[in-house]
Amino acid sequence: MTNSTRAGFVALIGEPNAGKSTLLNRMVGAKVSIVTHKVQTTRARIRGVAIEGDAQIVFVDTPGIFRPRRRLDRAMVTAAWGGASDADIIVLLIEAHRGLTEGVKAILAALKERAGAQPVALAINKIDKIKAEKLLDLSAQMNAEFDFVKTFMISAERGYGVDDLREWLAGELPEGPWYYPEDQIADLPMRQIAAEITREKLTLRLHEELPYQLTVETEKWEDRPDGSTRIDQLIYVMRDGHKGIVLGKGGETIKGISTAAREEMSEFLGRPVHLFLQVKVRPNWLEEAERYSEMGLDFKDGD
């Protein structure tokens, strides 16, 4: 055999909202990780698979890295660093218009401590938001702070520079057999993807702290003989008042959320979906180990 394949893991790390999930979805060519304009959207590690020539690149989307306060925050940040340590290559995403923030500095300091573990590339994202001449200054400033193996200027949303990044990553990965079958694009269980879709719609429609105080779990999944799927999900909130807000006047809010989520699930699955959402008040869900395992997080990481 003269044909040799390459395969490996690329961790996308960065501050919340940097565009990691947007980039993962673009690389994979499908929406496997939810995206919102709010910080701390992604809660666990999500793998998406891209193929570039003879290379299989497994992108690992991670929660944003920030100063954690709650147990959930700590578990998320630990999951992000765990994603980095398992990877062959790390890509640090920063936002072009925000530049070298305090949060980015903190991440660079942590990267320096584990220096040499893996090569780290820099992706300056959201270049559609700033003028080209400013980008060169930012790139120089970043490279003075850390020894990046390579710097890319991209727009994950518009697709600029993304092909270059993917081609470069493919060439850097070690030779070896592919990790996943050719047609697999994600390794998240369907029921978890479905829960994430609903959480995205909740996060988009609810305000302030509420999105951070709820979680969604898929309770039941039934593929019916008529070709449709029935999905039952629970939305855990912390207070009665929150339940009222999620439901909305006459159930209007939850109805809108349910419709949006159902449509996206149908599209993803390629079959009609009947979605049943139930809101449950669970004051202490943030301290329940089972909630974390459902999210794909380790409860003990929050200690």
Ligand X SMILES: Nc1nc2c(ncn2[C@@H]2O[C@H](COP(=O)(O)OP(=O)(O)OP(=O)(O)O)[C@@H](O)[C@H]2O)c(=O)[nH]1
Binding site for ligand X (CB under 6 A): 14, 16-22, 35-37, 39-42, 63-64, 125-126, 128-129, 155-158
- Of 13 and 231, the one with the shorter C-beta distance to ligand X is 13
Is position 125 an interface residue for Mg ion (rule: CB under 5 A)? no
Residue 37 interacts, among Mg ion, ligand X, none and using kind-specific CB cut-offs from 5 to 8 Å, with: ligand X
Is position 17 an interface residue for Mg ion (rule: CB under 5 A)? no
The encoded tokens of residue 272 equal 């009609």
Q: How far is the CB of 301 from ligand X (least distance, A)?
A: 17
Among 42, 56, 78, 215, binds Mg ion (CB under 5 A): 42
Is position 40 an interface residue for Mg ion (rule: CB under 5 A)? no
Q: How far is the CB of 42 from Mg ion (least distance, A)?
A: 3
The residue type at 97? H
Q: How far is the CB of 240 from Mg ion (least distance, A)?
A: 30
- Of 157 and 301, the one with the shorter C-beta distance to ligand X is 157
* Residue count, binding to Mg ion (CB under 5 A): 4
Residue 128 interacts, among ligand X, Mg ion, none and using kind-specific CB cut-offs from 5 to 8 Å, with: ligand X
Q: How far is the CB of 19 from ligand X (least distance, A)?
A: 3
Q: How far is the CB of 250 from ligand X (least distance, A)?
A: 30
Residue 218 interacts, among ligand X, Mg ion, none and using kind-specific CB cut-offs from 5 to 8 Å, with: none
Is position 21 an interface residue for Mg ion (rule: CB under 5 A)? yes
- Tell me, letter by letter, the H, E, C secondary structure of the chain: CCCCCEEEEEEEEECCCCCHHHHHHHHHCCCCCCCCCCCCCCCCCEEEEEEECCEEEEEEECCCCCCCCCHHHHHHHHHHHHHHHCCCEEEEEEECCCCCCHHHHHHHHHHHHCCCCCCEEEEEECHHHCCHHHHHHHHHHHHHHCCCCEEEECECCCCECHHHHHHHHHHHCCECCCCCCCCCCECCCHHHHHHHHHHHHHHHHCCCCHHHHCEEEEEEEEECCCCCEEEEEEEEECCHHHHHHHHCHHHHHHHHHHHHHHHHHHHHHCCCEEEEEEEEECCCHHHCHHHHHHHCCCHHHHC
Closest CB to ligand X: residue number: 64
Q: How far is the CB of 286 from Mg ion (least distance, A)?
A: 20
Residue 298 interacts, among Mg ion, ligand X, none and using kind-specific CB cut-offs from 5 to 8 Å, with: none
Cβ atoms 194, 216 nearer than 8 A: no
Is position 22 an interface residue for Mg ion (rule: CB under 5 A)? no
Q: Given the rule CB under 5 A, which residues bind Mg ion? A: 20-21, 41-42
